[in-house]
A and B are shown apart, each in its own frame.
Chain A
């Protein structure tokens, strides 16, 4: 893979609050190209908010988000003050970043094929023929090529999520964000989605994944980040982090998880 001079994603003292509730209290994080990073943490730890800030689905209140060295969402004017950039510019800067949502967010009025083709035609100005070729290619990759004429409502959750991944892949993003991609799925459907994500990781895709699947995180990620109360409490190699947790919070979090999965609760 081509060496790049910039970090894929760089968060500098990222802050965000809803009213009095400080959700992110100053996050610093570097993610390199080709890295797979899993973010874990309890509910309310701010992990989804952090991910959504990376794609500017949430406006942040302080600090910076840089994608490939570019500040996202805010620009400096002549006086050096931060200002909200127009959405077209933000979207242009974000064209290499794509999010896969917990609720899939497929468009229900379009078939599987149309869902994947639509952004290619409307945003990336592909011809219909080119868009269809690309769509079939990525749908094949997620093993959904046999369902191109189905509508989202006719698919299982796992199938919908695979189509959603294909829709993102079609636009050839350099960075993919996953917001709890398997949390809305029935247990028996989780595997098929994780399998697709694993193959993406093997292809060298830069991935940031908010997840509750600890086994998957341990197996696939280069780095695991544990978030607690809006701060990064611990980060590092999954093998070390999962087996030798240092902080009490992480120990507690991991033990609850182990208990739940062994059915002791």
Chain B
């Protein structure tokens, strides 16, 4: 009844799509991480305006579906005369989305570091940058690694939505072939397995790094 050989015929295209999904997701996670740190520091800042701005941004992004955010970036920019390719819109939307989630993850991480750790750093003459870079950040990364891994997996899964703005990712290619060949089951099962492979790799990688870091 099922004929997966038809999938094999299009395996090159599917792998291309998988590659697009992978690099767009990873790039967005990395950009989102940098933005997330900035947002998190802004959120923890004592400057009232910066704090409120970051808080509003995080709340607004976390409260709305990614699909809506994608549409807003994709439709609004041309409306204002900014024309960018769909891939760029996808990366912008995914990065802006994950930045808000990562900011909250990191904020939890910063808040559980005992005050004494920073006092000790001050005691030995560390500048606030050195204290951030060498004392706080390494601990935050270690403590938040499981959550950051989960966020990466979420972004990979959510990236399936960029197919709606015509990015030829794994989802888009799967949709195309499943409708032209009338073999939706074969193609969507394959897509599911490929996504599963990708997310499992990330999850294993995360666990590997975690075990390396927690040998102590």
A residues whose Cβ falls under 8 Å from a Cβ of B: 55, 57, 87-88, 91-92, 94-95, 98-99, 101, 103, 105-109, 111, 118-119, 122-124, 150-151, 153-154, 167-168, 171
Contact = CB atoms under 8 A, between A and B. Distances in A.
Contacts of A107: 117, 120, 135, 139
Contact of B123 (A57, A150, A153, A154): A57
11 contacts: A101-B116, A101-B123, A103-B114, A105-B119, A107-B135, A109-B139, A118-B124, A123-B126, A153-B216, A154-B216, A167-B124
B122 interface: yes
A99 B216 contact: no
Given A103-B114, A111-B216, A122-B134, A171 B119 contact: no
Contact of A123 (B125, B138, B216): B125
Interface string B120-149: 101111111010001100110010000000
Given A105-B116, A122-B126, 15 more contacts: A57-B119, A57-B122, A87-B122, A94-B125, A98-B123, A98-B124, A107-B117, A107-B135, A108-B139, A109-B216, A118-B134, A119-B126, A122-B130, A123-B125, A168-B123
Interface of B: 114, 116-117, 119-120, 122-128, 130, 134-135, 138-139, 142, 216
A151 B216 contact: yes
Contacts of A153: 216
A167 B135 CA distance: 15
Given A105-B116, A107-B135, A111-B216, A99 B130 contact: no
B125 A119 contact: yes
Nearest to B137: A109
A106 B123 CA distance: 12
Contact of B124 (A88, A109, A154, A171): A171
Interface majority SS (helix, strand, loop, mixed), chain A: loop
B123 A99 contact: yes
Given A111-B216, A118-B134, A105 B125 contact: no
A91 B122 CA distance: 8
A101 B118 CA distance: 12
A47 to B, nearest CB: 17
A109 B116 CA distance: 14
Contact of B130 (A94, A95, A103, A123): A123
A153 B119 CA distance: 19
A217 B116 CA distance: 25
Most buried by A among B117, B124, B126, B130: B124
A254 B76 CA distance: 75
* List of 4 A-B pairs having minimum Cβ-Cβ separation, nearest first: A151-B216, A119-B124, A105-B120, A105-B116
A101 to B, nearest CB: 6
A156 B77 CA distance: 59
Contacts of A108: 139, 216
Contact of A55 (B123, B126, B128, B135): B123
Contacts of A122: 126, 130, 134
Contacts of A151: 216
A105 B122 contact: no
A101 B119 contact: yes
Contacts of B124: 98, 118-119, 123, 167-168, 171
Contacts of A154: 216
B106 to A, nearest CB: 16
